[in-house]
C-alpha cells in the first residue's frame, strides 16, 4: 500500500513515516502543506493520504477542506484525517463530504501499529473509520440513556462498532461472532432507535452518528 503524508510538523511526519516503515508500509511522499500535497500527488500516485486537520495558513480545519478537494480531484483516493483533539463536529463535517474510504482518528491513536494498519486497510477497502473516543462520548450521553437502556450489552457493542464505521464482517470478526448473527443484531438496534435499516455499511455509519449527535433535543 502506498501512503502520502501531509502535516506541518516535521517531527510528527518523520515519526509516522518511521512507524509505517517498521510495519512494512511504504510512505511515498511527505508534504508540509496543502499546496505541496497537491503538487506531489499529481506526480506520485498513492492509495491513501494521511492529512492533519490543522495546517497553514489558518491552522483551523485546512485538512477537512483539503480532503473535500482531493475527493473531487481523485475520487478513488483513500483519506485519513488525523487530529490532536477528537471533535465530533469535525467527524460530522468529514462524513458530510462522503462516507466512503474516509477516516477520522486521534493522532495518538495511530501510534499503535495495529490500529493504524487496520484503519488504512479499511479505508483502502472503501469503509469509513471514526475514532472510538467520539462514539464512546456520544453513547455515554445521558439523554440517550432511556433508548440505549433498551439495548442489550451486546447490541450496544455492535452499535459502537457500527458508528466507528466497521462492516458486518468486520464487526463479526471483532466480536468473534457469525456475520449472520451480527445482521440480526443490527436489525434489532435500528428498529429500537427508529432508524431506517440500510444494507449500505457507510450510510449506516452516518445514520448512527447523526442519531447519537442529535444536537437539539
Partner 1 sequence: MSLAFSAFTTQGRRMDTRVVSVGTRTATTLLWLGGVAALASWGEFRPGGDSAWLAMGGVLIAVGFAVTATLLGLEGGQSGNAVLFAVLTLIWVCDQVASRDVGALTPVLLWIGGFTQLVAAAVLLRYPSSALDVWGRWFVGVTAAILGAVQLAIILTGTRADWQTSELADGPWPTLIRAPALNDALWELRWIVWTVAGPIFLVLLVRRWRRLGFIERRTLSPILVTAGITTVMISLRLADDQLPGVGPQVMEGVRAYAAVAVSAAFALSALRMRLERGDVATLASDLHGPVSIEEVRDALRRALGDPGLEVWFWVPEQDTYVDAAGAAGTLPDPHDRLLAFVSDSHGAPMAVVLTDISLERHHQLVDAAVAVSRLALENARLQASLRARLVEVRTIQTRLVHTGLEERRRLERNLHDGAQQRLLGLGMRLGALANTVEDPETTMSIDAARVELQHALEELRDLARGLYPVALTQSGLASALEAVTERLPLEVTRDVPDRRWPPDLESTAYFIACEAMSNACKHAGECTVRLRVYEKDNSLVVDVTDNGQGSTYLTAGGTVRGIRDRVEAAGGRLTVRSTVGVGTRLVAELPCG
Residues in contact with partner 1 by the rule CB under 8 A = 8-9, 11-12, 14-16, 18-19, 21-23, 54, 59-61, 84-85, 87-90, 107-108, 110-113, 137-138, 141-143, 213, 215-217
Burial bucket for residue 178 (CB in 10 Å: 0-12, 13-18, 19+): exposed
Q: How far is the CB of 146 from partner 1 (least distance, A)?
A: 11
- Least Å distance, CB 160 to partner 1, is 15
Least Å from the CB of residue 23 to partner 1: 6
Nine-digit cell string for 170: 468486520
Residue 172 C-beta: closest distance to partner 1, Å: 28
Smallest distance, partner 1 to C-beta of residue 37, A:
18
Q: Which is nearer to partner 1, 55 or 70 (CB)?
A: 55
How far from the centroid of its chain's Cα atoms is residue 131's Cα?
6
Distance CA 1, CA 186 (A): 32
State which residue, 22 or 194, has the beta carbon closest to partner 1.
22
DSSP state of 107: G
**Residue nearer to partner 1 on the CB measure, 149 or 196:** 149
Q: Which residues contact residue 87 at a Cβ distance below 8 angstroms, ignoring those fewer than 6 apart?
A: 134
Q: 8 vs 155, which CB is nearer to partner 1?
A: 8
Rounded distance, CA 100 to CA 138, Å?
A: 22
36 vs 117, beta carbon nearer partner 1: 117
Give Cα separations from 149 to 142, 143, 190 (angstroms).
Answer: 10, 11, 14
Please tell me whether residue 94 adopts helix, strand or coil conformation: helix
Amino acid at each position: 500500500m502506498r501512503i502520502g503524508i501531509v502535516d506541518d510538523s516535521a517531527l510528527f511526519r518523520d515519526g509516522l513515516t518511521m512507524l509505517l516503515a517498521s510495519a512494512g508500509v511504504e510512505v511515498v511522499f511527505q508534504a508540509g502543506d496543502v499546496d505541496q500535497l497537491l503538487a506531489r500527488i499529481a506526480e506520485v500516485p498513492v492509495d491513501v493520504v494521511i492529512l492533519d486537520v490543522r495546517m497553514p495558513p489558518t491552522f483551523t480545519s485546512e485538512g477537512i477542506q483539503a480532503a473535500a478537494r482531493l475527493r473531487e480531484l481523485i475520487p478513488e483516493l483513500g483519506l485519513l484525517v488525523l487530529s490532536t483533539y477528537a471533535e465530533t463536529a469535525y467527524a460530522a463535517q468529514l462524513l458530510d463530504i462522503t462516507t466512503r474510504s474516509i477516516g477520522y482518528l486521534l493522532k495518538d491513536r495511530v501510534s499503535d501499529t495495529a490500529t493504524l494498519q487496520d484503519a488504512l486497510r479499511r479505508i483502502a477497502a472503501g469503509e469509513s473509520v471514526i475514532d472510538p473516543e467520539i462514539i464512546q462520548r456520544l453513547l455515554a450521553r445521558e439523554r440517550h440513556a432511556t433508548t440505549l437502556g433498551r439495548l442489550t450489552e451486546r447490541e450496544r457493542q455492535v452499535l459502537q462498532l457500527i458508528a466507528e464505521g466497521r462492516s458486518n464482517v468486520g464487526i463479526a470478526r471483532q466480536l468473534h461472532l457469525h456475520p449472520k448473527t451480527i445482521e440480526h443484531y443490527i436489525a434489532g438496534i435500528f428498529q429500537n432507535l427508529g432508524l431506517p435499516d440500510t444494507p449500505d455499511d457507510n450510510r449506516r455509519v452516518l445514520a448512527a452518528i447523526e442519531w447519537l449527535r442529535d444536537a437539539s433535543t
